[in-house]
Structures are given as C-alpha cells and as structure tokens.
Amino acid sequence: MSERGLLIVLSGPSGVGKGTVRKAIFDSEENDFQYSISMTTRKMREGEVEGVDYYFRTKEEFEAMIEAGEMLEYAQYVGNYYGTPLSYVNQTLDKGKDVFLEIEVQGAEQVKEQVPDGVFIFLTPPDLAELKSRIVGRGTDDHEVIEERMRVAREEIEMMALYDYAVVNDEVPLAVKRIKEIIASEHFRVDRVIGNYIKMLKEM
C-alpha cells in the first residue's frame, strides 16, 4: 500500500548527543529512511562535498528562500544560516520514504508548526531521568547551584512538552533501538493507515 513517508524529528537540549545518536542510527542495519541534508551559508571546508555534507548557498540565496517560504526550518549560528529546504523533504515523503531530521530545539519548534503530524522525538539527558539525585542528592552544594540546576531541568521539561516521545540517552545503542522502535510503531498508527483503506474501498 502506498503511504506517505514520515517526517521524523530528533532534537533535544544542546550537548545531549543528538549527532552521535543520529550517526549511530544511520550506521545501523535496517534503517530505511533518508537523512535530510541541511543548507548553509558558511564556507565549504576542505573535503566537504556540495549536496552531501551540505547544500552550500550564498547569504542572498538563503534569504531569498526564507522569503519564498522554501525553508522548513532555519536558524542563524555564528553569523551563518543553517536550515532544511522544504522541497527535498516533501519530494522524499511523497515517494513514501521517511525523512529523518536531527536539529536544534528552535528548529524543531518551527517544523512542529508546519508539519504537526511529524514524529517528534526528544532526546533526554540521563541526568534529567535522575533529576532528584542530580539536583539535591549530594547535599553539599549551595542554594544557588541547586536553583540553577532546577532552572535548567525545568527548561528541559518545558521543551519536552512539545514532543511526542522522550527517549533517554543513557547508552547510545539503547537510544538507537528505542528510536527505531518508535519509528516502526508510528507506521502502524491507525490515523496514518486508515485513509489508505478508505481510499481503496472508494476506488473499487
């Protein structure tokens, strides 16, 4: 049965290990999705290849694409733009192939607005799962340190609320396994497949 691909968004707080997990997923067996290549205005480095590492564009070209609504998400970092072009993502999804985005939380928020039926996975630091012991367990830290840790934890929990799934990155192979199971399961969601059945019946 033909079915549109899923847009999978992996994000999480900076430093949580998103890139490592994404790489491990793409290096693993039985991965049947497409990594979306980002577009950037930063200079191409030695060894990098256009359309493999990034799509390299000028600032003017990038801004014209933003203006035209052709970016699924984008952000500025150290004076350069980074983002995901919409056209490639849509073409891949239309072919029935899943697209996997590993992006920062700000980008994930933009994608959520444009593609609410994407699969949003929040990678959680292990110290969030062990919140209590991390924050107060040692009992030797002063009030301000504890307050700061609680503020960070609160921020991460607030971010998490926008996502469909929260996966703890305690061990990379475990996180990979969980994410692959989530993607497999999402393909069986009734609201994703029932339309095809109804269409089949109507066409007869």
Dist CA 151 CA 165 (whole Å): 22
Q: Rg (Cα) of the chain, in Å, rounded?
A: 19
Residues at the interface with a second copy (CB under 8 A): 1, 122, 128-129, 131-132, 135-136, 150, 153-154, 157, 160-161, 163-167, 178, 181-182, 184-186, 188-190, 193-194, 197-198, 200-201, 203-204
Which is nearer to a second copy, 43 or 143 (by Cβ)?
143
The CB-of-172 to a second copy minimum distance in angstroms stands at 16
Q: Is 118 annotated as a binding-site member?
A: no
Minimum CB separation of residue 183 from a second copy in Å reads: 9
12 is in an annotated binding site: yes
CA distance 175 to 38: 23
| 19 vs 195 by CB, closer to a second copy | 195
Q: Is the Cβ of residue 19 or residue 137 nearer to a second copy in the bound state?
A: 137
Q: Residue 144 has which token pair?
A: 């301000």
**47 among annotated binding-site residues:** no
* 83 appears as a binding residue in the annotation: no
* Cβ atoms 10, 18 nearer than 8 A: yes
SS3 annotation, 21-71: HHHHHHHCCCCCEEECCCEECCCCCCCCCECCCEEECCHHHHHHHHHCCCE
195 labelled ligand-binding: no
* 200 membership: H or E segment, kind and range: helix 190-203
- DSSP state, residue 188: T
Query: Shortest approach of a second copy to residue 107 CB, angstroms?
Result: 18
Question: At closest approach, how far in Å is the CB of 193 from a second copy?
Answer: 5
C-beta closer to a second copy: residue 73 or 186 = 186
Tell the residue number behind the tokens 């079915």, with chain if given.
Answer: 3
Smallest distance from a second copy to CB 198, Å: 6
**Which residue, 86 or 153, is less far from a second copy as judged by CB?**
153
Q: Which of 31, 10, 181 is closest to 105 using CA atoms? A: 10
Q: Which residues are annotated as part of the binding site for ATP? A: 12-19
Query: Binding site: what residues are annotated?
Result: 12-19
